[in-house]
Amino acid sequence: MWIFDSYYRGCVELWGKKHGLTTASVAYPQSFYLHFNDPHCHWELIEGLQSRHSVNECRFRTIYGELDGYKVYANRNVADRIEKQTGLAAELYNVDVRHDQRYLAESDLFPCGWQNESRFDPDFQIPLSQIEVVVRGDPSLDKEISCVGFRAGRIRRLEGNENTVISDLLNLIKAHDPDVILFPFADTWVHLIVKRAKRLGLDLTLSRSGWFNKIASRSYWSYGKMNYKDGAMIPDGRILIDTAKSFTYQEGGLKGVLLASRLTGLSPNLASRFTPGTLISSYEVFEALRRGIAVPFRKKDPERLRGFQELKDWDKGGMIFQPDPGVYEKVHELDFTSLYPSIIVKYNLSPETLKEPDKKGFLSTVLAPLLALRIETKKRKKVDPEFMGIDSVLKWMLVTCFGYTGYRNAKFGQIEVHEHITYISRDLLMKVKEIAESLNFQVLHGIVDCLWVRGEPLSNFKEAIESETGILTEVESFDWIVFLPLADGLGAYNRYFGRLSDGKMKVRGVMARRRDTPQYIRRMQEELFRVLSRACSLVDLHRMEPELYDIRKRYLEGLVEVDVNELVIRRRLSRLSYSRKCPEASAVQAHLRCGFSPVPGMEIGYVVKDASQWMVDAEWNTSQFDHKYYEMLLEKAWSEIGILLEQVDYGLKNG
């Protein structure tokens, strides 16, 4: 059975393909493991549990070894009461694991694949039918659904009054009976469609059973910023992907979502809605369950007490070599392939190996096949674009696995492991710098897992690095590259652009790459980069100066009659109340005046009407803009290119 949907509703429900659509409902009682360091101190609680629930004495495995305890057939509410009654003395396992994920792991099954194939095979087939649905309009504002695009082989356009459009849409879904629905802004539109279909008494064909699993919306803090996650109504028996909001889908397409599902044991509906950090933690949980390792409910291995000198020696983060700002020709960028995961695997880093380094670590063993798959897809995408999406999904999962080791609530993380990884990475980057200089290469810049150098022959340098570190590398060569300055004149760590030897531009940290840059400003800078991509040398760059200045002039003059929609600035709200005047505070009020209630973490769009007083309009309710303010943004975007031209002129004049 090729499983493409799973959930728990009293029992494990599975939907899959096997000579057509197949369903299965499997009885699977909820249970968890319980361990006490001294069970005699809690005999009354144990007897009370045995009188109300099925409780079996047992031994179970953790990453640190086996424990004696009990298997309690009860739900999380019981586990919460045990924890509260014992004052956190009880050690609980497998409490908050998804029941369908646990069932699949214990049954040697996984989603989106046949039982006899490998989860780590990138060549898997997709035996699913699919349709695409697009509702015209803004789901947060429009009160009526009057135009829907529907693609199932051919494109149809459904128009008319809302009752007719929704009825026709649900009838088409019933007729085609797809396994996959690709639907931009689905997590907003489906809620409205279901609500209005119920009011009209229509058959809810979006779900094959008529039921929906609900995910609540929420605001949450992650990596130093506030984020917002839309709620969702997920239909039974279908994969519904919000193509506009799903990071996994945007990076990897449908195959990327299905690969994430195969690896994590989660249904594609969840895999498409979760962040890379949640995917990597779910992958580790799924691997633990498949190996018979219990997953802790609360971490019992807090950071140990350490002296100041030890903390100072270990907790320094990644190594960075600050560049001198300027333009450089014939530069090579050497990048380690998934450096931090490679360190975890190569150096056998895991919470339980810190004190027992000879023991094979859990983290290193579960990340090894994921890393091998990433290396494979990275090779394949160079000759077959089909693998670009799944390679991107794997890249982001492996990127976040490092941060997850230091997350305080990580099931299999520990801050000392996090610090060991950065310690080794700093040592490796210093070794790479020394090797480069011993081979007469000039080191221009370095940041954590990559190094920019000048020199030849490159093949000798790459071979020496891989031989010394045991970690694979990738090299990109630039005809020229510009490291931009900070406000104080020193080189910025992550702001640069340059022309690769294949003629493409590589751009990082500039305004065209920022999410909040208005489209008009972004368009100007992207046009400038297209012109720069034709320059193979500093001499070519100098010749192109008149063309670049003409582009700048055209955009400055065009600002007079620009479409105001191209001037929308998008920002993510960290809060709703502000102690000072700022555009975000005005944007919140502008949205409230329009009857729209933003929440922390939500991304909103606005146009600046008067920068002197920070007066702004919501993006859908604007017709005016502050000309001088947007002219300043254009000049700011131009200045990032202007620095290059100044450096080129200076370099040519001074030989």
The set of residues, in sequence order, having a beta carbon less than 8 Å from that of 587 and lying 6+ positions away, is 571, 573, 604, 606, 616, 618
Digit-coded pLDDT (tens) for 142-175: 678 999 999 998 999 999 999 999 999 999 999 9
Are both 493 and 381 inside the same structural domain?
Answer: yes
Q: What is the CATH number of the domain that holds 614?
A: 1.10.132.60
Q: What is the CATH number of the domain that holds 434?
A: 3.90.1600.10
Judged against a pLDDT cut of 80, whether residue 225 lies above it is answered with no
Distance CA 261, CA 257 (A): 6
H or E, element range at 314: helix 308-314
pLDDT at 126: 95
Are both 440 and 340 inside the same structural domain?
Answer: yes
Last residue of a domain, one of 106, 132, 148: 106
Provide the 10 A C-beta neighbour count for residue 316.
Answer: 12
- DSSP letter string, 95-163: SSS-HHHHHHHHTT--SSS-TTS-TT-TT------EEEEEE-S-TTT-----EEEEEESEEEEEESSHH
Percent of the chain with pLDDT over 70: 97
Q: Which two tokens stand for residue 197?
A: 């279909």
Digit-coded pLDDT (tens) for 462-500: 999 999 999 999 999 999 999 999 988 889 989 999 999
Last residue of a domain, one of 86, 106, 126: 106
Give the end-to-end CA distance of the chain in Å, rounded to a whole number.
Answer: 70
The set of residues, in sequence order, having a beta carbon less than 8 Å from that of 84 and lying 6+ positions away, is none
Which domain range does residue 613 map to?
559-653
The set of residues, in sequence order, having a beta carbon less than 8 Å from that of 499 and lying 6+ positions away, is 478, 479, 480, 481, 505, 506, 532, 533, 535, 536
Are both 493 and 625 inside the same structural domain?
Answer: no
In a domain, 305, yes or no: no
In a domain, 524, yes or no: no
Phi-psi group of 19: left, alpha or beta (phi > 0 → left; psi -120 to 50 → alpha; rest → beta): left
- The values of phi and psi at residue 497, to 5°, are -155, 155
In a domain, 381, yes or no: yes
Digit-coded pLDDT (tens) for 298-346: 877 666 677 777 776 666 678 889 999 999 999 999 999 999 999 999 9
Last residue of a domain, one of 441, 474, 509: 509
Are both 488 and 592 inside the same structural domain?
Answer: no
* Spatial contact of 122 and 370, defined as CB atoms under 8 Å apart: no
pLDDT at 593: 87
More confident residue, 584 or 653: 584
Digit-coded pLDDT (tens) for 288-310: 999 999 999 987 766 667 777 77
Are both 317 and 438 inside the same structural domain?
Answer: yes
Are both 498 and 567 inside the same structural domain?
Answer: no
Are both 620 and 471 inside the same structural domain?
Answer: no
- The values of phi and psi at residue 641, to 5°, are -85, -35
Distance CA 548, CA 223 (A): 38
Are both 348 and 415 inside the same structural domain?
Answer: yes
Judged against a pLDDT cut of 90, whether residue 502 lies above it is answered with yes
pLDDT at 542: 92
- The values of phi and psi at residue 284, to 5°, are -65, -40
In a domain, 296, yes or no: no
Give the least confident one: 73-87, 292-306, 317-331, 356-370: 292-306
- Cis peptide preceding 457, ω within 30 of 0: yes
In a domain, 260, yes or no: no
Q: What is the CATH number of the domain that holds 82?
A: 3.30.342.10
In a domain, 83, yes or no: yes
pLDDT at 215: 92
Are both 482 and 334 inside the same structural domain?
Answer: yes
Q: Averaged over 582-588, what is the pLDDT? A: 91
Beta bridge partners of 218: 229
Are both 332 and 442 inside the same structural domain?
Answer: yes
In a domain, 278, yes or no: no
Are both 608 and 467 inside the same structural domain?
Answer: no
Number of domains in the chain: 3
In a domain, 456, yes or no: yes
Are both 575 and 503 inside the same structural domain?
Answer: no
pLDDT at 620: 84
Q: Averaged over 14-35, what is the pLDDT? A: 95
